[in-house]
Amino acid sequence: MSALEACRSCGGKDFFEFLSLGNHPLANALLTEETLGEPEDKYPLEVVVCTKCSLVQITETVPPELLFRNYIYFSSFSDTMLRHARDVAERLTRERHLGPDSLVVEIASNDGYLLKNFVAAGVPVLGIEPARNIAKVAQQHGVDTISEFFGADLALHLVAQGHSADVILANNVMAHAPDINSMMAGIKTLLKPDGVFVLETPYLKDMLDKVEFDTMYHEHFFCHSLTALEHAFRRHGLAATDVQHISLHGGTIQVSAVHVGREGTRPAVHKMLDDEAAWGVSRPDTYRNFACKVNALRSDLKKLLHSLKVDGKRVAAYGAAAKGATLLNSFGIGSESLDYVVDRSTHKQGKFMPGNHLPIYSPERLIEDQPHYALLLAWNLVDEVLDQQSEYHRRGGRFIIPVPELKVV
């Protein structure tokens, strides 16, 4: 572990510190029966913004080898993600005229949930997934995958082997890569002259406007604005050519970038950059106000859970996600308020949440046990979860949705 001395992107050394969430165990470090009694390593979770390039980042660097070599998040357990992946693949195949002579590379390709759509269309792919357990699953599903961390060195190695990409994808990984400059240099190297790099990442403006503070945890070194991304692109000979704001994960930007000189930038890029400047992407008050909202949410949620317990109500939680662990540990919520957590992923069931050690069961537990309330920790999948749990709701169960505003449905 190392503390931040300079901006991971531009190297600037002037930061505005705006959010301190205390010491946390790693958000995806679920415990087993055997490890429950062992001490948990905890790390400071503090968030700053670089005053030079506007990149929001945490101050501690936990080694990626520790975070990602054995991973428990499988994208294929989310119907929302599967539908979105299919739509993205179909659009890019059509718009880029991809075929058997093309190559699509995905950085952090997980279990192949996205690349398998290109495989089905006859487009060659290469997945790059550092988690060995997940890469193995992708390979079993017919998605060519190597288990490595992507960066400048790997890109040079792939080019030497004769690889060059028509499309490079990086969905929900830019926040996970502490060496952003190595990532950008590798993309520049591997991308064909007329190729396109497409990334999706949680959007800073949504995080601040909607109080999505639990987007920040030790795996998420960053939360990006287009302003900060464009700074990083330009330093490595790339340029944003298009951007879309989509609702995925509580607010995501999908950014397309190409080699400088080939941009033909669309108006959406200029508009978002102007909107971010007017909103206050570089103003300390923007971040200071966000921290005040987080503190208010902490007070309101804890007050609600306490009142429910006083009234004899039983409360569970839905979603053993990293953001859920962040919310619970930041707010000091555990077994005094919640009985257990349920999650759809079979890789999480039977384990225990980090920090508070709440047991994790399958969602069927909600029907079997029928707690009065369920705190929705996976608020980014609210529509999907409410649809899946319609029977629990029909029987009188109610969901507490903490973000973007505290409400009970």
Say what the pLDDT of residue 140 is: 92
In a domain, 10, yes or no: no
Structural domain includes residue 332 = yes
Does the pLDDT of residue 335 top 80, yes or no?
yes
Query: Is 71 a residue whose pLDDT tops 60?
Result: no
Predicted local confidence at residue 2, as pLDDT: 58
**395 vs 273: CA distance, rounded Å:** 47
80 with 223, same domain: the answer is: yes
The residue ranking higher by pLDDT, 381 or 359, is 359
Instruction: Give the DSSP H/E element, type plus range, for residue 105.
Output: strand 104-107
The residue segments making up the domain with residue 204 are 67-284
76 has pLDDT over 70: no
Does residue 66 have a pLDDT over 80?
no
Give 395's pLDDT tier (boundaries 50, 70, 90).
very high
List of residues 6+ apart from 331 with CB closer than 8 A: 298, 301, 302
**What sections of 18-160 are H helices per DSSP?**
64-68, 79-95, 115-120, 132-140, 152-160
Q: Are residues 338 and 245 in the same domain?
A: no
CA-based nearest residue to 316, from 295, 294, 333, 293: 333
All residues at 6 or more sequence positions from 87 whose CB lies less than 8 Å from its CB, including other chains: none
Q: Are strands 222-223 and 56-58 parallel, antiparallel or unpaired?
A: antiparallel
Query: Per-residue pLDDT tens for 137-155?
Result: 999 989 999 999 999 999 9
Does position 112 have pLDDT exceeding 60, yes or no? yes
Given a cut of 80, is residue 393 above it in pLDDT? yes
Q: What is the DSSP letter of 396?
A: T
- pLDDT for the residue numbered 48: 97
37-52 pLDDT tens trace? 899 999 999 999 999 9
234 and 329 part of one domain: no
Domain match, 184 and 129 both: yes
Share of residues in the chain with pLDDT > 70 (%) = 97
Nearest to 84 by CA among 109, 117, 128, 106: 117
Predicted local distance difference test score (pLDDT) of residue 67: 75
Summarised one tens digit per residue, pLDDT across range 244-280 is 999 888 899 999 999 998 878 899 999 999 999 999 9
Of the candidates 86, 87, 137, the residue with the CA atom closest to the CA atom of residue 110: 137
Ranking 59-63, 125-129, 179-183 by mean pLDDT, the lowest is 59-63
What gap in Å lies between CA 49 and CA 67, rounded to an integer? 23
366 and 272 inside one domain: no
Last residue of a domain, one of 229, 263, 284: 284
Share of the chain above pLDDT 90, in %: 87
Instruction: Single out the residue in 253, 284, 315 at which a domain terminates.
Output: 284
At what angle are helices 284-310 and 322-331 packed, to 10 degrees? 80
309 in the same domain as 326: yes
Please provide the DSSP assignment of 129-163 as one string.
Answer: -S-HHHHHHHHHTT--EE----SHHHHHHHHHTT-
Other beta carbons within 10 Å of 79: 13
> Do 217 and 85 belong together in one domain?
yes
Greater confidence (2 vs 231) lies with: 231
Q: How confident is the model at residue 75 (pLDDT cuts 50, 70, 90)?
A: low
CA distances to 9, 50, 57, 99, 189 from 222, in Å: 10, 11, 4, 34, 23
